[in-house]
Structure 1
Amino acid sequence: MGVWKSYGTRAVLRGVDVVVEPGCLVGVVGENGAGKTTLLRTMVGELTPDRGAVHRKGEVGYSPQETVINPLLTVAQHLELFQVAYRLPDVEQALALLEVLGCPDVLEQRAGTLSGGTRQKLNLVLALMHQPTLLVLDEPYQGFDWDTHQRFWHLARKLRDGGRAVVVVSHLIHDLGYFDTVYELRDGLMVEGVRPA
């Protein structure tokens, strides 16, 4: 709460307060350079606030704009690597997510050979496969075709309805109707914006 974050003399976050409750799908919008990615990286603990505090409960899943994949590893190897990192008994949840996102047949492909949209799907699966209670997704559907875009929002609503807290940075106006609440990051502050019907 009351989170401040600066780069040099430029204050990007200036006392940001936001609470994301379980079972809520929250959108974050704002102009390029407004600090949306800084906000998300601070929320998940990748950045330390200069002032204020971030309080998290349970596991966190984070899907950054830049994919976290290794181009030399196959999709299956990524799942195995993250299975170990998350201490999971198997990769069944990840396989189910690949099915939901419409790409179950890519396991033996090297990540570097995947299309941009499929790499983004893998990025998303890696963030979700341990079934975290808080999901923080930074424009997670870049490169998705319309069918996968719809699959993503069906998944996001299902996760929300299952009691997860879901935060999504979006720049697409037609996505606003998917959210329970939309905040705009403006001048370093979070302003509750359009509340979709």
Structure 2
Amino acid sequence: MTSDAARPSRPPVTSAAVSTAAAEVSTGVVLAATGVAKAYGRGMWPARRRTPVLRGVDLELAAGEVVGLVGENGSGKSTLMKILVGDLAADTGTVTRSGGIGYCPQEPVVYERLTCDEHFELFGRAYGLDERTERASRARIYPQLGFERYATVRADHLSGGTLSKLNLGLALLADPEVLLLDEPYAGFDFDTYLKFWDLVAQRRRAGRSVLIISHFVTDEERFDRIVELRDGRAVAR
């Protein structure tokens, strides 16, 4: 659900977040989580209790690598993604990263009354892009995802699938070294789904890295490896 009061929270992740250390990581690794744990409070006081979701997750993402993150509903996939991007603080553990990060949340964060063009302009300023760079990036993204005809359409007039394209396009705008994508192709038709994987392949060839959350993986050959969240920990599949 979108809202005029919603504020685009993704651009600032290109700089250090409170819950992460933006230090250099080991050679070839662009993102690393070590011992990440998170629990949520459940129930009403005085019976309120803490329910662990993540119990010490270790995860690394190498340059030019495409990794799938899978797990049952409630396994903590989106929680881990928010911690990796700095949108949520871990209870314990560390996250280190090298380079810029683009984040595509599961639910689009947009202003209902702004057009697609205006969203790119707004996020471009938040990313610190100059006007020429922002416009050039926008001009590439529209045809890559096939929604250039909606450039001047307000967000509250877009279909769910087109909103998903805008959501992904905003994550791509600054050409980040790492893309963190939470169910990015939800609502895509098959043609856009194929465009998405062409785009991912291009980024891999350019040495960019992509971490994709999915409830299920049908095209395993498109990933370099798949990691499953199971019992609060990351397990190689």
What range describes the TM-score normalised by the shorter chain of this pair? over 0.9
Give the superposition deviation at 1:176: 2.2
Q: Which has the higher strand share?
A: 2
Residues 1:39 and 2:74 aligned together: no
Alpha-carbon separation, structure 2, partners of 1:150 and 1:172: 17
Matched residue, 1:5: 38
Matched residue, 1:19: 60
Larger deviation: 174-183 or 111-120? 174-183
Report the secondary structure of 1:62's partner residue.
strand
Matched residue, 2:105: 64
Give the superposition deviation at 1:5: 0.8
Q: 1:170 aligns with which of 199, 207, 214?
A: 214
Once the two structures are superposed, the pairs formed by residues 1-197 of structure 1 within 5 Å of their partners are: 1-8=34-41, 9-90=50-131, 91-193=135-237
Alpha-carbon separation, structure 1, partners of 2:125 and 2:200: 25
Give the superposition deviation at 1:70: 1.2
Higher relative contact order, chain-length normalized (CA < 8 Å, sep 6+)? 1
Alpha-carbon separation, structure 1, partners of 2:113 and 2:218: 36
Report the secondary structure of 2:38's partner residue.
strand
CA contact (8 A) 2:73 2:215 kept: no
So what's the TM-score if we normalise by structure 2?
A: 0.80
Q: Which runs of 5+ in 1 are unaligned?
A: none
Give the superposition deviation at 1:148: 0.1
Letter in 1 for 2:186: Q
What percentage of aligned pairs have identical amino acids? 48
Letter in 1 for 2:212: V
Q: Which runs of 5+ in 2 are unaligned?
A: 1-33, 42-49
Alpha-carbon separation, structure 1, partners of 2:111 and 2:155: 7
Report the secondary structure of 2:169's partner residue.
helix
Moved beyond 4 Å, runs of 4+ = none
Larger deviation: 171-180 or 27-36? 171-180
State the superposition RMSD in angstroms.
0.9
Alpha-carbon separation, structure 2, partners of 1:89 and 1:96: 16
Larger deviation: 163-172 or 184-193? 163-172
